[in-house]
Amino acid sequence: MNIRNWGLVLILLLGGAPAAPAQDALYAPAAEGQRLLNGSYVVDFAGRGGVANWVAYELRASELTGGADRGNDFHRDGRAAGSPSATAYRGSGYDRGHLKPAADSKSSTGEMSRSFLMTNMAPQTPALNRGLWKSLEGNVRSWATTYGAVHVCTGPTDESLGQLDSGVRVPMGYWKAVLRLGSDTSVVAFILPNQMTLGGGILDYIISVDALEVKLDMDLFPALPDAVEARIEAGSNEENWTISKGSTFAYSAPQCKGQTLKRVQCKNHTKNENGYCNVHQNQSDAPTQQTSGSSGSTQCTGVARSTGNRCRKITRDPSGRCHHHRDQ
């Protein structure tokens, strides 16, 4: 029996019905948490901390040309007790960063929707998620197009920067390892810090698979024959892959002056004149002219009775209050 068939047998023995094609789990590491099989990717979900240990999938060139549009329907994964809600990152300053990107999930509307499960998300700074990580994801799609298919395994580091107010763990960094098969079988891996600013290019964050496995205490591509692993995992292999430098992301506005419930500075960035984002307007003594509103529009100066916080509605009424608070 060949390796691919053994992979299918293993999936079935572990209780994985063909909800995920065999090739998506074939080169996945051993699961440490809850194994979640989706139509085109596999998640090893940690439960506590609300982020996955890893996500693995085969990305085929044909999956990149599907007609499914990006849906943005972030939603809790009802299969996992520790899955965060769609609003768990709100006000934190962190993006809901995909582990399997939406752009890798165009094969159907169902696959696009499943890519927005919160078990596929992890807190990433905008500098990472919208900068070099996004560029690295673009490289992976380019490789899938060039080679017909690649196997991807990605996830957060074990080290944490802390946690969000919702209890979701904030990893210190993120890694990605990519395997291609054929006459020129090769692997390449990267680890990027989850920082508010990132410099350099993608090649500055390359690492050998062997070194990454030591850091993670994980065998990333266990289905590879030992002799092949020994040959391809020791070096960085950058000469075997066409890797773009990538682009960084810079904030276009200063950081919010507000404080979170844990008394640390809000990580949102805002163009509001008073220096407070919309989440923390109740901490400002001065009403702000909303940059996103039309001329003459300001945030309501009323106070919500249910929370005691300043109302977030926008109004053009001369009183400075929306229709809910004109009696205050």
256-271 confidence digits (pLDDT tens): 888 887 777 887 778 7
For residues 244 and 53, give the distance between their C-alpha atoms in angstroms, rounded to a whole number: 27
Strands 206-207 and 186-193, bridge-based pairing: antiparallel
3-class secondary structure, 278: helix
Asked whether the beta carbons of 91 and 165 are under 8 A apart, the reply is yes
Q: Residue 206: how many CA atoms within 13 Å on its side-chain side? A: 22
Other residues' Cβ atoms within 10 Å of the Cβ of residue 83 = 22
pLDDT at 219: 96
CB 283 within 8 A of CB 256: no
3-state SS record for 62-94:
HHHHCCCCCCCCCECCCCCCCCCCCCCCCCCCC
- Distance separating alpha carbons of residues 326 and 222, to the nearest angstrom: 66
Nearest CA to 121 out of 75, 81, 161, 152 is that of 75
pLDDT at 21: 60
What's the CATH architecture for 3-240?
3-Layer(aba) Sandwich (3.40)
Tell me how far apart the alpha carbons of residues 239 and 140 are, in angstroms, rounded to a whole number: 16
Q: Which two tokens stand for residue 103?
A: 């752009």
In this structure, what DSSP letter does residue 158 have? S
Query: Which pLDDT does position 297 carry in this prediction?
Result: 65
pLDDT value at residue 22: 66
Cβ 191 vs Cβ 215: under 8 Å:
yes
Angstrom distance (rounded) from CA 310 to CA 321? 11
Region of residue 198 (phi > 0: left; psi between -120 and 50: alpha; otherwise: beta): beta
pLDDT at position 31 is 92
Specify burial of residue 170 (Cβ count, 10 A radius: 0-12, 13-18, 19+): buried
Encode pLDDT of 88-143 as tens digits. 999 898 999 999 999 999 988 999 999 999 999 999 999 999 999 999 999 999 99
Helix (H, G, I), strand (E, B) or coil at 45: strand
Residues of the chain with pLDDT under 50: 1-19, 290-295
Q: Report the distance separating Cα 207 and Cα 7, nearest Å.
A: 27
Question: In Å, how far from its chain's centre is CA 94?
Answer: 10
Residue 87: alpha-carbon gap to chain centroid: 14
Q: Which regions of the chain carry the CATH code 3.40.570.10?
A: 3-240
Tokens of 323: 């229709």
**3-state secondary structure (DSSP) of residue 147:** helix
